[in-house]
Structure 1
């Protein structure tokens, strides 16, 4: 009986340790600037008061500190600009000496600006106009043009792209084009009416565009990450038939919705979230896995495994 009690205490301690020491950010992204890595995402911890986007920092990708945002630990806090609920899936980028955050709130997309990656990011309280609800922005620059890959909530979560105005205030709606919707078996393992493809990241190598995305509902243990390729920013996109990050490749359910980033040596990573455990979806945990892009194929680096981010 003592042994059973001891094992229960140890198991409980491991769960608490994971919760207390992981940033607990879903839909994470990592932005590097001047040797410091900045981690943002959808807040999962109920122990931290407020709403918005927390930010954590690291210089080695091993140990993280924070929350370190300029507004009570937040890089963007509710009240700093557009949004009253549902602060999801931020992306941070630098442009013309300023730092920008593209984010979701109230199932709309807005962009805020700051003088530091720590914030405070602010805007005038307006979202980007759209005829439907839209989420999960990813801003991509090429040849003087700005593109926004994003998800439109219209007969499913479907990924679109459109060129933006140079000041990020609006989409050029005449350029709006669908990129990805769920058509593969792995993208809809529960055969639902409202299918989901979301969380886009776009990169280019050797003339080929790679659109990395997640599919299935985030509560589904089969939530996973796949990619498609194209020869233009608008597609047409050719999907790879199986995901390269999933519960089968990393060993944890609900593995998805993240972003690509590079360390100081140029090594490539994908930061993403998983379910909290085999039986609980939330709060979702934040993890990183080294990936590679060789001969047109995205894979987890051989011999590498998932690494949990810790505080």
Structure 2
């Protein structure tokens, strides 16, 4: 997703009125217009931390986010997904040589264990094409430093506007990369794609398959920021839609019985400013994480309610029934 300094469009989803059982400071919200209680989310990191991605190593959760301050990528740690400690060092001190050396253009990290260490996928501006594209870096530790791998970007469809918002999914001993072609940069359609990659994520091993594009009224002109999980034997694709820059950003989901679809979208968003009673503005950039108690959590960013130009880190409980998520 876009850096703090650059505004952009995001994700959507449908939400029911169940309260969210979370510890920490809850974002309280008034009752909805239909009399039902809105969903609730816990503010877990009161600092600008957009597009969060979380990986667990041992008992420690490592969260990574779009650039901030003096860092290409932000990093924080926790043992409970509630209390987070920011890390001062930049886990990606230098993007690949193919990327423009502009910190504000490094976005949306994705980190996973690859068996020999850790892989980071990140978005940066490609010098050759001028488009945002996805690069890859490796480290023996989730703390970094992650060092660039390969001479160029991993995914860079310049004729489709470039590629952003990498996410990883594994099944049957195979790894897949999800990404969004950044068509909204230049008046082109946007789609979320699924593409097979090597186990360490440094090579693509097959052609991308488009999964979904925009089409519902609340999605605006694009979809982005995918997260794919499998629950109850079904594939659940969470994504963001509409304008990331304000209260219109939302988190949506689509469900399929096959990895490559077809994916059927929920008609309403899972997370939205309205579904959270206005207590969180523009929820998006989500990641699904298993908590210490074995239950699912959804971590996401939302604009600070004090009106400052910050996207804060929130957490909420997440349940699945027959593959359908509920906050």
| Band the TM-score falls in, shorter-chain normalisation | 0.7 to 0.9
Q: Judging changes above 3 Å, is the alpha-carbon distance between structure 1 residues 232 and 81 closer, same or farther for their aligned structure 2 residues?
A: farther
For 2:92, the equivalent position in structure 1 comes to 76
For 2:196, the equivalent position in structure 1 comes to 163
Assess if the C-alpha contact under 8 Å between 1:225 and 1:243 holds in 2. yes
For 1:130, the equivalent position in structure 2 comes to 156
> Within 5 A, what are the aligned runs for 1:138-177?
138-154=167-183, 155-173=188-206, 175-177=207-209
> Within 5 A, what are the aligned runs for 1:206-285?
206-250=232-276, 251=278, 252-277=280-305, 279-280=307-308, 282-285=309-312
Assess if the C-alpha contact under 8 Å between 2:157 and 2:181 holds in 1. no
For 1:103, the equivalent position in structure 2 comes to 122
Higher helix fraction (1 or 2): 1
Normalising to structure 1: TM-score of the pair? 0.79
Determine the C-alpha separation between the residues in 1 that align with 2:269 and 2:229: 17
Q: Judging changes above 3 Å, is the alpha-carbon distance between structure 1 residues 81 and 130 closer, same or farther for their aligned structure 2 residues?
A: closer
Mind listing any 5+ residue stretches in structure 2 that lack a counterpart? Answer: 1-44, 126-131
Is 2:321 aligned against 1:294?
yes
> Within 5 A, what are the aligned runs for 1:174-185?
175-185=207-217
Deviation at 1:220, TM superposition (A): 3.6
Determine the C-alpha separation between the residues in 2 that align with 1:289 and 1:57: 18
Assess if the C-alpha contact under 8 Å between 1:26 and 1:286 holds in 2. yes
For 2:66, the equivalent position in structure 1 comes to 42
For 1:57, the equivalent position in structure 2 comes to 77
Q: Judging changes above 3 Å, is the alpha-carbon distance between structure 1 residues 79 and 109 closer, same or farther for their aligned structure 2 residues?
A: closer
Assess if the C-alpha contact under 8 Å between 1:30 and 1:261 holds in 2. yes
Mind listing any 5+ residue stretches in structure 1 that lack a counterpart? Answer: 1-20, 189-194, 301-311
Deviation at 1:167, TM superposition (A): 4.8
Determine the C-alpha separation between the residues in 2 that align with 1:27 and 1:40: 8
Deviation at 1:118, TM superposition (A): 0.5
For 1:7, the equivalent position in structure 2 comes to none
Deviation at 1:206, TM superposition (A): 2.7
Deviation at 1:80, TM superposition (A): 6.7
Determine the C-alpha separation between the residues in 2 that align with 1:259 and 1:82: 28
Assess if the C-alpha contact under 8 Å between 1:253 and 1:278 holds in 2. no
RMSD across aligned C-alpha pairs, in angstroms? 2.1
Normalising to structure 2: TM-score of the pair? 0.75
Of residues 218, 225, 241, the one that matches 1:186 is 218
Larger Rg: 1
Higher relative contact order structure (alpha carbons within 8 Å, sequence separation ≥ 6): 2
Question: What is the SS of the residue equivalent to 1:289?
Answer: strand
Q: Judging changes above 3 Å, is the alpha-carbon distance between structure 1 residues 99 and 167 closer, same or farther for their aligned structure 2 residues?
A: closer
Question: What is the SS of the residue equivalent to 1:249?
Answer: coil
* Greater alpha carbon shift after TM alignment, 57-66 vs 247-256: 57-66
Question: What is the SS of the residue equivalent to 1:25?
Answer: coil
